[in-house]
Copies of this chain bind each other. A is one copy, B any other.
Amino acid sequence: MKSVEAWMQKLGDRAPIGTFERMIEVCESQAADGGGKRIVLACAEDAKLIEAMELARERDIVSPILVGNSSGIEGAARSVSVNLDAYEVVDVPDYQAALKESVDMLVRNDADILMRGAVPAVDFLKAVLARRHELGIPGLLTQVSCLEIPDYHKMLLMSDAAVVIKPTLQQKKEIIINAISVANALGIALPKVALMAAVEVVNPAMEVTRENAIISKMGDRGQIRGALIDGPLSLDVAAFRSAAELKGVKGEVAGDADILIVNKIEEGNILYKSLIRFAHAQTGSVLVGSHKPMIITSRVEVQNNELHSIALASLLHTFYNRRPTEAA
């Protein structure tokens, strides 16, 4: 906890990061302090991702390493007018071999962040999990999405909308722990975690409410640390004080959630898409659970989603390494 506080202090103004623009500025200043990240794009023959890499490089957040078929990479870069002079390109024509080499770079500590390129998510995860021990993956790898919503008063985190189909209780616990670390990296010392449901009462006939009651009590007992955890809560009660008051729901989480935990991938996906498409949320997502952050952006079109994801992964990497603490 102490190093978390030291980290918060190092963030500068001690206020949690509330926008992606601010997140990028923090990353820039950390990079300027010698903390620039080496990011490897596995199977890099993808124009859109190279474009995102270039945006992140121009903002001085990362030094990119592109692994894959070099002629394919060059073609993709040309198609989006990116000059590869400042890039390290590693020519590995076979895509399985390129994937393996990318993961190896992380294991060898030749890179800080791994990003999925032109390779199916299933293959990517398989290659990563094959090196589970060396990459420091004790449990689940889970996706944490960070949302900047025009109508919400702070960054809202959400998990898991992309990896775990229907988590068990143990998996839900790991999902929460992973999300807490991202909240910490944003400068939220004690995040408020809302466990999503359709109601606030524990209804024995509703599995989700039973599960969320159990997880809440785990939180009370200190079995999940570093957060205030409460549920079952529905979205409006979790996020809006007026709804919490109307329904008479007390507690520190209701009306002011930092993290929303969903119960199934469909629930997460529908909330994520709804916030992007209808509420114009900006997003960035990171795969959490290993020593080094990873990125598996999807093809969903969201403005600067990839750039934000790179910044988020970079921030998280610095947080893991407590560089500010070491330097202090």
Contact = CB atoms under 8 A, between A and B. Distances in A.
Interface of A: 149-152, 161, 165-166, 196-199, 205-208, 234-236, 239-240, 242-243, 246-247, 262-271, 273-279, 281, 299-301
Q: Which of A235, A269, A278 has the most CB of B within 10 A?
A: A278
Nearest to A152: B278
A218 B269 CA distance: 25
Nearest to A267: B267
A274 B277 contact: no
Given A166-B207, A196-B270, A266-B267, 4 more contacts: A151-B278, A152-B278, A235-B273, A240-B277
A243 B278 contact: no
A311 B39 CA distance: 56
Contacts of A151: 277-278
B247 A206 contact: no
Given A198-B269, A243-B301, A264 B262 contact: no
Contacts of A262: 266, 270
A301 to B, nearest CB: 7
Given A273-B234, A300-B236, A198 B278 contact: no
A270 B165 contact: no
Nearest to A299: B246
B266 A300 contact: no
Contacts of A207: 166
Nearest to A278: B279
A278 B277 contact: no
Contacts of A263: 266
A223 to B, nearest CB: 23
Nearest to A268: B198
A278 B276 contact: no
A278 B149 contact: yes
Nearest to A150: B278
A239 to B, nearest CB: 7
A198 B263 CA distance: 13
B276 A274 contact: no
A165 B207 CA distance: 9
Given A266-B263, A301-B243, A236 B276 contact: yes
Contacts of A265: 198, 206
Contacts of A208: 264, 266
A198 B275 CA distance: 15
6 contacts: A161-B198, A198-B266, A235-B274, A247-B299, A264-B264, A267-B270
A205 to B, nearest CB: 7
A35 B193 CA distance: 50
A266 B197 contact: yes
A284 to B, nearest CB: 17
Contacts of A242: 301
A184 to B, nearest CB: 25
Nearest to A265: B198
A300 B240 CA distance: 11
Q: Which 10 interchain pairs have the tightest Cβ spacing?
A: A278-B279, A198-B269, A235-B273, A274-B274, A198-B265, A279-B279, A236-B273, A198-B266, A267-B267, A270-B271
